[in-house]
Amino acid sequence: MNMPLNAQTLDSEPLTRTPHRQETRLPTALELRGRFPVSEALARRIDGYREQVRQVLHGEDDRTLIVVGPCSIHDEQAALEYGQKLKALADDLSDRFLIVMRAYLEKPRTTVGWKGLLYDPERTGRGDLAQGLARSRRLLLELSELGLPLATEALGPFMMDYLGDLVSWTAIGARTTESQIHREMVSGLPMPVGFKNGTDGSIGVAINAMKSGAHPHHHMGISHCGSPAMISTPGNPDTHLVLRGGRGITNYDELSIARAVEELDKAGVNTAIMVDCSHDNARKQAERQVDIAREVMAQKNKGNRQIRALMLESFLQPGRQDDDDNLIYGCSLTDPCLGWEQTETLLRSL
């Protein structure tokens, strides 16, 4: 499953090289979508998942949306094994939860580090976007065919052109919520989008992002055929806030959520809340996600109607590992995750 795809067939020929820049040709979005096509039946299913996510986020479906899965995917086989387990659990719990798998292929880094399967699938540090794009699309297709809705973080401004038709919910991360380029992108996305609060914990930037993302935009982009283009977008009405804590301060407690809802309401945007149980809320200690999820669901069960969703970082094995020669199968290379057993026990108990 981790087989490199043949670069020759992926049009990755060098274009130009200067001392400051080398350009390497990539397939267009249309070419890649053509190589790994979505059937009409699957496209209809994905439309259906997006509609279910919308209904939960707009309070028309009382279930809780759970976005759960690895911090990052580095091994397709482990991701598929995780997907099979999650699909069985999602079916079992579908009366209470709408479960969407985190299938994160791009990682925003605080400084530098591995940026995800899409950029550097072999983790050599040299990058191989041609292979990364193809492996990412093939994996999303295979996971979708298991019958799972998928979530990503939309980071590179053109990546959704290549992969977006397979995604049912996406995040704009804490490091990019303030970026106009990402807000413009969201304005043209066909799925619901969660904006994270800033890394400093501020939710004002996410509220501004929701307003901007709901607005039509005209911006510079690349057409699906690969030419420079002016992209005009209608605005995305299905955005919401994700509380992930910041600068060591958590924001999943009753008071923080009430304050966030008040600010959202004052700003006239959707008051739906997703709590990210990981990241600064868990202070990078994966097991803390268990207590956080329980505490937030207790608030919901006590009658907080704005809490509509949770995010959990989880993989086959608990914890995280450094990328060396003795990799543990199914263990995160980025942030620490809950292991599968912990995840299943938690979700069944919520």
Ligand X SMILES: O=C[C@H](O)[C@H](O)COP(=O)(O)O
Where along the sequence are the contacts to ligand X (CB under 6 A)? 71, 107-110, 113, 279, 334-335
CB atoms within 10 A of CB 62: 11
Q: Least distance in Å: CB of 101 to ligand X?
A: 16
Full DSSP string of 202-257: -SHHHHHHHHHHTS-EEEEEE-TTSSEEEEEE---S-EEEEE--BTTB---SHHHH
Residue 113 touches which member of ligand X, ligand PEP, none, C-beta under 5-8 Å by kind: ligand X
State the residue number with the nearest CB to ligand PEP: 173
Rg (Cα) of the chain, in Å, rounded? 19
Amino acid identity for residue 278 in this structure: S
Q: Tell me the pairing of strands 307-313 and 273-276.
A: parallel
Stretch that binds ligand PEP, among 17-25, 169-177, 219-227, 297-305 (CB under 6 A): 169-177
What whole-number distance in Å separates Cα of residue 282 and Cα of residue 286? 6
Contact residue for ligand PEP among 182, 217, 240, 244 (CB under 6 A): 244
Site for ligand PEP in 93-112 (CB under 6 A): 104, 108
CB 299 within 8 A of CB 47: no
Is 156 a binder of ligand PEP (CB under 6 A)?
A: no
Site for ligand PEP in 10-69 (CB under 6 A): none
What whole-number distance in Å separates Cα of residue 239 and Cα of residue 195? 7
CB 313 within 8 A of CB 337: yes
Residue 74 touches which member of ligand X, ligand PEP, none, C-beta under 5-8 Å by kind: none
Q: Least distance in Å: CB of 113 to ligand X?
A: 5
Residue 110 touches which member of ligand X, ligand PEP, none, C-beta under 5-8 Å by kind: ligand X
Residue 109 touches which member of ligand X, ligand PEP, none, C-beta under 5-8 Å by kind: ligand X
In the complex, which residues of this chain contact ligand PEP (CB under 6 A)? 71, 104, 108, 153, 173-175, 196, 244, 276, 279
